[in-house]
Chains A and B, each alone.
Chain A
Amino acid sequence: MKRIYLLLLSFIPAVLFAASDVTQLEGGFKVGPAIILILILSLFILVGVVFRAKDTTDYYAAGRKISRVGSGMAIASNWMSAASFLGMAALMYDVGYHGLAYVVGWTGGYVLLLILMAGQIRRYGKYTAADFIGDRYYSSSLRTIGAAIAIVISIAYAVGQFGGIGLMFKWVMGIDYLPAVMIGGSVVLAYTLISGMLGVTKNMQIQYIIIISSFIIPLFILTAKFDYFWLLPQIGYGSVVQDIVEGIQITEKSGLFNSLGHHFAIVPSPEYAMPWDPSTGQTFFQWVAIAFSLMIGTAGLPHVIQRFYVVPKVSDARWSVVWGLFFICLLYWSAPVYSAFGKMLSANPEVGKLAKDAIVVYTAQLGDVHPLIVGLLAAGGVSAAFSTVSGLLVAGSSAFAHDIYVKVINPGATPNIQLRVARISTVLMAIIITIIALFDLALIAQLVAIAFSMAGCTIFPLFLLGIWWSGSNRAGAKAGLITGSLVTIVALTYLVGAKAGWNLPFYDFISYYLGAWYFAWIGAPLAIAVNIIVSKLTKETPVEIRQFLIEKVHS
């Protein structure tokens, strides 16, 4: 791994000054931001080494030594990915109010997760999502399929993160996207392999502090600089939104300019804030479908569910959700501020079309925030992607090593062999993710939304019914899983088909109602309905499973 990383580093000088344009927003190699990034990554590695996994219990569940607040921070850090840090502002910058469906979807899902699952998952006491599925539905084949789905979801989720890492490495180093993804991917892989989950959990708490500080500090500067209420930028930017809607003439804020010398002015642009505006091409149905899909996806994501195993008590699992959601919301209240200032500061057509996924950093640059603070912001973006990717790689490799290798391939594997298999599968996953990320398929948040819909269609119904209805049996689970998977396959086929230029039947209808970012709105209810119907028609759940549910999960 080290050799590969050194080999990749050797390519840097050749492409170092590749990116440059008339606005100078990309520029070449940025020394200050690069030093900040290296320092932060070194800190992560150091913490990872100090708190590295000593055995499989440490690797999977951090020894169950994490406090409520600490676990909440870890949940937030694990959750606050490149999609949150970079992608949400990008979507709101692009499609205005429609982007808020992602904000609502990615926070509202925690309410479902808490009231329907958190405590029960902790009481069930399984390490991975696949472990739960295999055990609850008394089926090794379902365990294997569950593990495979967890791996696929983790990969889909991580593709967007690698894209974010690539964008930030591109910006800091002034290199092309391709080498940036490869370098960034190598660093995050090395970090995850060194640290394991105990290191990851400790790191997540540190990462949270860095992520949230780097994200919020520029907002105070922007709001103060452009004469808005700066003491609480998350409220102060309301006037920015209203100014965008009504427009600002040059004379209104005559002494204020962006870093390119353009007046702080904008033509009336109600399309930024008005719901499902015609100019965005987005509809009310899509807003609702996205919010709903993201919410149930939240309650079905393996790496999110896995966070509940690391707290000592069941009540800690519940309270950690409250803390986690609070810490998450600190960022989610702030992301729209970037999109609003981004809209304002890039209003002059001379700025040109900006890469939406980097709008957070561009906004700080256009607002003439000090380069070192912009560098810290970029490093925060990398941290956000790192914390999530490491959690995803651990969840994915756990699914393979624990649920496929040990349970199916080699039941006699020692803990050492199991750990080695987990690490090998981590490397393989990282390679696959890097290759997919190089295609730059969609916006970061949209790529991540695919993973949410997949989880909503497959894992969410199994957990929901598995916990709350003893009547859900193996046959029902299989039928429901097949249904959810079919919906997923159709939606993704139409997404890939559109990219590849295939001529697919009923394209307009299916790509609208089974959009890749929100197909769970119908996939999840269908999977649940099929699960219930088939369970009713087939042999009852074994008594020992029902007894376990009552005595261990609901008592």
Chain B
Amino acid sequence: METEDYKISFFKPTTERARLNRNLTLKLFIAWAVAIFGFQILLRVIEEPVPEEGLISFTTAWNQIEAEAADTDAFKAAALPVIQVLGKSSLKPEEYDVVRDALGWMVARVISDEELSSLQEEVINFNLLRNRITSLQDEEYLAAKEVIELKAGSALGVGQESLLAKLLPLGLDNDLAELSPESRMKLPDIMTTYLTHNRSVLTDTIFLGFPFHYFYTAVFLLVFFIALCWYYCYRTDKVHARLNFTEQTT
């Protein structure tokens, strides 16, 4: 690396120590780059956008609804994936409003007018209570919630011990009868966005309980970084010992 006119360059070493250091650094750099970016590129290359089962049933049912050929079963089939999306905590507030609007409308389509009127009252009462309570354990609030779980759940064919039933009370707005044109337009895109995921053999293989790609990135890569650093220090000390090289400090 050193020359008589004091020129240095990482890529043109002129001493044995510098050459060994360059080779070691390059090897580790390549291993580092491949481990990080190579894996992510592989993940990107082999992935496929895969819809959840719910999206497939929703799309079929929604097409019938749009064609005004939907029966009660079609509305039920569309409503269940909608509740599922409603339960995703990553849902943005404006999307939450759309999904809520749609769910109420779908529930209204699967129950009789009399039941609808009763459910509507329960929902209004529940939403009023929600704004009033100071604790989620408020007895009146819990009772109102349970009634909606039971009524709306049974209308959709969802058992009260189901997670979807527990989500229902929070997913119904005060106006069950109407679906705004804006919500109608936005709903399919929201459903597609939240129910389609990039998957591959790397994401579907389970390793130590993790999806493999997650384990690789969150756990293994960090171990690998420490190993690379340890190896660099170990090899450098060995080379220095072999060459009787003592590092000076300023």
Q: Which residues of A contact B (CB under 8 A)?
A: 22-24, 94, 96-97, 100, 103-104, 107-108, 110-112, 114-116, 119, 122-125, 229, 234-236, 238-239, 241-242, 245, 247-251, 260-263, 265-280, 284, 287-288, 291-292, 312-315, 318-319, 321-322, 325-326, 329, 332-333, 336, 343, 346-351, 353, 468-471, 543, 546-547, 549-550, 552, 554-555
Contacts and interface: CB of A to CB of B under 8 A. Distances in A.
Contact of B248 (A261, A321, A550, A552): A552
Nearest to A284: B44
B249 A270 contact: no
Contacts, number: 240
A25 to B, nearest CB: 11
A275 B163 contact: no
Contacts of B229: 110-111, 114, 321-322, 325
Contacts of B10: 468-469
Contacts of B197: 270-271, 274, 277-278
Interface in B1-56: 1-2, 5-10, 18, 24-25, 28-29, 32, 36-37, 40, 43-44, 47, 49, 52
Nearest to A269: B88
Contact of A314 (B29, B215, B249): B249
Contacts of B183: none
A262 B89 CA distance: 14
B7 A115 contact: no
A269 to B, nearest CB: 6
A273 B232 contact: no
Interface string B126-154: 00000001111100000000000000000
Contacts of B89: 269, 343, 346-347, 349, 351
A276 B215 CA distance: 16
Interface string B99-139: 00000000000000000000000000000000001111100
A249 B163 CA distance: 6
A268 B84 contact: yes
Chain A contact surface mostly = helix
A116 to B, nearest CB: 7
Contact of B36 (A108, A269, A350): A108
A241 B214 CA distance: 9
B211 interface: yes
Given A104-B221, A123-B247, A241-B214, A315 B237 contact: yes
Nearest to A97: B214
Contacts of B32: 108, 111-112
12 contacts: A22-B134, A100-B217, A104-B221, A234-B219, A242-B206, A242-B210, A249-B163, A260-B136, A267-B87, A275-B203, A347-B89, A471-B7
User: Interface size class for chain B?
Assistant: 35 or more
Which of B25, B84, B134, B222 neighbours the largest number of chain A CB atoms within 10 Å of its CB?
A: B222
A469 B218 CA distance: 35
A315 to B, nearest CB: 6
Contacts of A470: 6-9
B162 interface: yes
A145 B107 CA distance: 65
B174 interface: no
A215 to B, nearest CB: 15
Interface of B: 1-2, 5-10, 18, 24-25, 28-29, 32, 36-37, 40, 43-44, 47, 49, 52, 83-84, 86-90, 93, 96, 133-137, 161-164, 166-167, 170-171, 192-194, 196-199, 203, 206-211, 213-215, 217-219, 221-223, 225-226, 228-230, 232-233, 236-237, 240, 247-250
A82 B62 CA distance: 46
A546 B206 CA distance: 54
Given A123-B250, A275-B213, A318 B232 contact: yes
Contacts of A276: 44, 198
Contacts of A112: 29, 32
A260 B145 CA distance: 15
A322 B230 contact: yes
Top 5 A-B pairs ranked by shortest CB distance? A238-B209, A125-B250, A238-B210, A546-B6, A267-B87
Given A270-B52, A279-B193, A313 B211 contact: no
